[in-house]
A = this chain, B = another copy of it.
């Protein structure tokens, strides 16, 4: 293995090189992402309408399509110092094993107890809630990654944190639940008796194990009906991509520091928080015509929003209580097959990324889950880190690109986002080891059925 000693194996920025402002890619988009719509009136959601659900400063960030750089408050920068900068790692061992001329780098966001990049936005959202004098925040969580991140941020700031956890996960993933309890969050299995909508669902479906859509509805109800509470969300929203830009800004600063220019940038995509954050400053250069990069979104073949979805206004949640967003969607009623273990199961996609994809600034590929877990295990064995299934979608695509370079002989520089670790996903790994994992790709009929639920909006097919 030949190591280039002029560049660190792992590039860490110094603390004074860390970003002092988030980058808002919307400022450089010629076609802005479509606004959220009020599902009742079909009109764009206003500041006044949104502030009952989200705290004020976050609504401002959500609606701000113009300010390119938004300073990161000092308290958040201090918190970032506890687990950032995250390293940009040269995957020497992977390159050697693949026998590729490609140079592969990954930005590793898993070195914190939440196990993922989610903490970058959780601390920001909790901070603004605290600044507004709120008592607490509510949210939903499926597997628990976002709930964990939020509970950590709230614990740090002394804010109450109510997490509605999909009942089946609450029961089957007790470890994530205990992590959240360690950080003082109250974790309620959803549906629950604590909300009107929860009680109604339990009455209608007494044995239900819950769904993310139901948990969102309960969390929103708990926020608007408890004085001093607001609802927070870990992906999809513009504000979340803004906070996650810290990933991309650090990545770019680390590359620039050593004069490295990437050819391809790869990220996994569920709701878009990681991908949007990782690519933002590179996308900015591309939008301004200053540089060109191939930017690839990787999604599961079992939940293929970009590659097989429709660019249309849709509900953000299966419960249909949230505003409408224009995005690539599979329909809010779409639920991936039960054998899908790899995360990224959201039916829609960030409006920002959807617009960029629609305008041709972004490629997308879909990968099947057994191929994803093969890549995950391969990566673990050569690079040491056991990756989250979500992150392993990006690994799969990076390996595929590196193998293409082996064929063509091109010395491309590939950068991908390693969003997190898989320590709480060992049930999925076990399935994979036992040969019990299968691939499922929705049929055209499946998608036509779930897309039939798109809301009726003037001007929408």
A residues near B (Cβ < 8 Å) are: 1, 3, 8-10, 12, 14-15, 78, 81-83, 89, 93, 111-113, 115, 152, 155-156, 174-175, 178-179, 181-184, 377, 380-386, 421, 423-424, 426-427, 429-430, 433
Tell me whether chain A's interface is mostly helix, strand or loop, or mixed. Answer: helix
Among A1, A82, A433, find the residue whose CB has the most chain B CB atoms closer than 10 A. Answer: A82
> In the bound complex, how far is the Cα of B430 from the Cα of A181, in angstroms?
9
Q: Which residues in B have their C-beta under 8 angstroms from that of A8?
A: 14-15
Q: Which residues in B have their C-beta under 8 angstroms from that of A182?
A: 377, 380-381, 386, 429, 433
Q: Which residues in B have their C-beta under 8 angstroms from that of A15?
A: 8-10
> Which residue of B152, B384, B424 is within 8 Å of A384 (Cβ)?
B152
| Given A9-B81, A424-B423, A433:B383 Cβ within 8 A | no
> In the bound complex, how far is the Cα of B9 from the Cα of A95, in angstroms?
33
> Which residue of B9, B89, B384, B423 is within 8 Å of A423 (Cβ)?
B423
A175 near B384: Cβ-Cβ < 8 Å: no
Q: Which residues in B have their C-beta under 8 angstroms from that of A155?
A: 380-381
A selection of 29 A-B contacts at a CB cut-off of 8 Å is A3-B78, A8-B14, A9-B81, A10-B15, A82-B93, A82-B384, A83-B384, A93-B156, A112-B384, A113-B384, A113-B385, A113-B421, A155-B381, A156-B382, A174-B430, A175-B423, A178-B426, A178-B430, A179-B386, A179-B423, A179-B429, A181-B433, A182-B377, A182-B381, A182-B386, A183-B380, A184-B381, A423-B423, A423-B424
Task: Kindly provide the distance from the CB of A373 to the nearest chain B CB, expressed in whole angstroms.
Answer: 10
> In the bound complex, how far is the Cα of B78 from the Cα of A430, in angstroms?
30
Task: Kindly provide the distance from the CB of A377 to the nearest chain B CB, expressed in whole angstroms.
Answer: 6
Task: Kindly provide the distance from the CB of A120 to the nearest chain B CB, expressed in whole angstroms.
Answer: 13
> In the bound complex, how far is the Cα of B70 from the Cα of A325, in angstroms?
62
| Given A3-B78, A10-B81, A78-B3, A178:B433 Cβ within 8 A | yes
Q: Which residues in B have their C-beta under 8 angstroms from that of A383?
A: 82
A156 near B381: Cβ-Cβ < 8 Å: yes
Task: Kindly provide the distance from the CB of A241 to the nearest chain B CB, expressed in whole angstroms.
Answer: 23
A426 near B384: Cβ-Cβ < 8 Å: no
Q: Which residues in B have their C-beta under 8 angstroms from that of A89?
A: 82
> In the bound complex, how far is the Cα of B410 from the Cα of A130, in angstroms?
34
> In the bound complex, how far is the Cα of B433 from the Cα of A93, in angstroms?
42
Query: Contacts A83-B384, A112-B384, A156-B382 given; 4 further ones with Cβ under 8 A?
Result: A12-B12, A113-B423, A156-B381, A179-B386
